[in-house]
Amino acid sequence: MKRKILIVDDEEIIRLSLKEGLTDIGYEVDTAKDGQGGLQRIGGFKPHAIFLDMRLPDINGLQLIKSIKEMDKDVEVVIMTAYGDVKTAVVAIKNGAFDYIHKPFDLEEVNIILSRIFDNIKLQKKIYLLEKEKLSKNYCMISNHTSMEDVFRKVAILSDSDDVTVLIRGETGTGKEVVASAIHENSCRRDASMLKINCAAIPSQLMESELFGHEKSAFTGATSRKKGLLEIADGGTVFLDEIGELSYDMQTKFLRFLEDRKFKRVGGLQDIEVDIRIIAATNKNLEDAIAKKEFREDLYYRLNVVPVELPPLRKRGKDILLLANHYLEVYNKKFNKNILGFTKEAEEKLMNYSWKGNVRELSNVIERMVILNDDTYIRCHHMPYEIRGDEKSSANNVMCSQEEEFNFIPEGFSLEDLVKNIEKKYIKTALQLSKENHSRAAQLLGISRFALKRKIEKYFNE
């Protein structure tokens, strides 16, 4: 990438000397002697950064910043002033300038500012990729909240440092796997595999064989040699989710592997060396686990080289609405709907809910509301009762909105038949949408798979 710099200054000596110095460093440089000339250069030259004199013959630098940002919001502006006016420089930064510099200045000072600018550009590109990435877990890294800035910064750094072990911490549903995938996909290991292992899902007695593999006849049932997941992932990344659930004995063996990246298969004598990156994640308080002698302190320090802490959704402010609208767009396309948005009251309900399941829960809730709603907007009565915060049951709210009241019961009315017909209707819809996948259908209906099975037997096998 050619790094382009535009210098806008009415002093010819400044323009020429700065251009010569920056060109020698390796930048591509253009110049303009006034504000109008500078604006004309932006469209054709397309600079990454502009060094802008505060006082130009045709326009004030502060006024020019706004015009520059209207033409190209991504270009970074550095104000140059000979007057030492710190107050004006602060105003310039509030108006969108990246930084300011006092005349006279030396080339090293200019280059330091440019290094910061291009580091920032690189980070923004990483964030853009993360925001655009649609990952398999149906939740993604989209944020305007300051609590996520450190996460994006570390993801960008760790993507360039492909040997550093990473520990990702956060509540269930905050997106730990998404962060791990983002680090892998933006690293030089992206063309190799990323294996995801849920430590809580593999029985402790099988974990060693799964990770390290085994030799033939190593134990009863080992009829052939088997490669372990660490060996299969050679050259790539291994993501160990719920690392806090590893047994204490397995922690010891895994620590030994982390120290030299070598291991032996179960029943084997030969050392196997692999080149893999380890990314671990946990929702467990490892410090408490260490105090209770449930987690090895030395393994903790070996894993915790660069920790990434994911904030819960409830602490991310208006990210809730940002993500809600993102998922609304996703599920509108998926289910061929055209829901335009949320009413103000519905947005307030979303903002006031605690979201214990974090981004994963938000995604599931939006999906359910899109499936069950044919209105133009999502309104309060379309929401699950726990988000609305009222006392009505979900069954009541399928039949009527909050504003409706029953003031009569028709002759021959049967509540049992009404509930039966409603349940049959939504079970049919959920089965159709899930293509007869009972686990997925149960998730859409907000019930257990076992409960769905009983209802199918009750209503459709009569």
The residue extents of the domains of the chain are 4-121, 146-309, 315-399, 415-460
More confident residue, 395 or 182: 182
Banded model confidence at residue 125, pLDDT cuts 50, 70, 90: low
The 3-state secondary structure of the chain, one letter per residue:
CCCEEEEECCCHHHHHHHHHHHHHHCCEEEEECCHHHHHHHHHHHCCCEEEEECECCCCEHHHHHHHHHHHCCCCEEEEEECCCCHHHHHHHHHCCCCEEEECCCCHHHHHHHHHHHHHHHHHHHHHHHHHHCCCCCCCCCCCCCHHHHHHHHHHHHHHHCCCCCEEEECCCCCCHHHHHHHHHHCCCCCCCCEEEEECCCCCHHHHHHHHHEECCCCCCCCCCCEECHHHHCCCCEEEEECHHHCCHHHHHHHHHHHHHCEECCECCCCCEECCCEEEEEECCCHHHHHHCCCCCHHHHHHHCCEEEECCCHHHCCCHHHHHHHHHHHHHHHHCCCCCCEECHHHHHHHHHCCCCCHHHHHHHHHHHHHHHCCCCEECHHHCCHHHHCCCCCHHHHHHCCCCCCCCCCCCCCCHHHHHHHHHHHHHHHHHHHCCCCHHHHHHHHCCCHHHHHHHHHHHHCC
Of the candidates 15, 37, 31, 117, which has an alpha carbon nearest to the alpha carbon of residue 74? 117
Give the DSSP per-residue string, 206-248.
HHHHHHHEE-TTSSTT--S-EE-HHHHTTTSEEEEETGGGS-H
Domain 146-309 sits in which CATH superfamily? P-loop containing nucleotide triphosphate hydrolases (3.40.50.300)
Checking if the pLDDT of 44 tops 90, the result is no
Report the amino acid identity of residue 308. V
Q: At residue 126, does pLDDT exceed 60?
A: no
pTM for the model stands at 0.56
**Angle 223-226-228 from CA coordinates, rounded to 5°:** 150
Q: Which CATH number fits domain 4-121: 3.40.50.2300, 3.90.1150.10, 3.40.50.720, 3.40.1190.20?
A: 3.40.50.2300
16-20, 120-124, 260-264: range with lowest mean pLDDT: 120-124
Name which of 68, 34, 62, 66 is nearest 50 in CA terms. 68
Task: Give the mean pLDDT of 111-117.
Answer: 90
pLDDT average, residue stretch 442-454: 85
Q: Hey, what CATH class is 315-399 in?
A: mainly alpha
DSSP 55: B
Give me 316's structure tokens.
């991310």
The answer on pLDDT for 277 being more than 90 is yes
The per-residue pLDDT for 253 is: 94
pLDDT of residue 410: 61
For residue range 287-315, what is the model confidence (pLDDT) as tens digits?
999 999 999 999 999 999 999 999 999 99
Asked whether 54 and 88 are in contact (CB, 8 A), the reply is yes
Question: Residue 92 — pLDDT band, cuts 50, 70, 90?
Answer: confident
Strands 28-32 and 377-378: unpaired
pLDDT, residue 396, reads 44
Of 106-115, 224-233, 368-377, 401-410, the range with the lowest mean pLDDT is 401-410
Q: Are 244 and 201 in contact (CB under 8 A)?
A: no
Asked if residue 377 lies in contact with residue 342, where contact means CB atoms within 8 angstroms, the answer is: yes
Q: What's the rounded mean pLDDT across residues 153-179?
A: 92
**Average of pLDDT values for 12-38?**
91
Mean pLDDT of all residues belonging to the chain: 85
Mean pLDDT calculated for residue range 385-399: 58
Element (H, E) at 330: helix 319-334
Q: 127 pLDDT exceeds 60?
A: no
Give the CATH superfamily of 415-460.
Homeodomain-like (1.10.10.60)
Share above pLDDT 90 across residues of the chain, in percent, rounded to a whole number: 43
Mean pLDDT of 185-190: 90
Q: Provide φ and ψ at 79, rounded to 5°.
A: -80, 135
Smallest Cα–Cα separation from 390: which of 418, 421, 349?
349
138 confidence band (pLDDT: 50, 70, 90): very low
Poorest-confidence range of 21-30, 105-114, 389-398? 389-398
8 Å CB contact between 27 and 3: yes
Identical fold, 146-309 and 315-399: no
CA-to-CA dists, residue 455 to 21, 64, 437, 445, angstroms = 77, 68, 15, 12
Taking the CB of residue 378, how many other CB atoms lie within 10 A of it?
23
Highest mean pLDDT among 226-235, 301-310, 403-412: 301-310
Average pLDDT over residues 231-255: 92
Q: What pLDDT sits at residue 441?
A: 86
Q: Say yes or no to pLDDT of 339 above 70.
A: yes
Please, what is the angle between helix 61-71 and helix 86-94, to 10°? 20
- Residues 51-61 have pLDDT tens digits of 998 888 888 88
The overall longest dimension of the chain from CA atoms, in Å, is: 96
Residue 155 amino acid letter: V
Q: Which of 7, 12, 14 is nearest to 42 (CA)?
A: 7
Amino acid in position 73: K
Determine the pLDDT at residue 114. 92
pLDDT tier at 348, thresholds 50, 70, 90: very high
Instruction: Give 391's pLDDT tier (boundaries 50, 70, 90).
Output: very low
Lowest-confidence region among 74-88, 132-146, 301-315, 421-435: 132-146
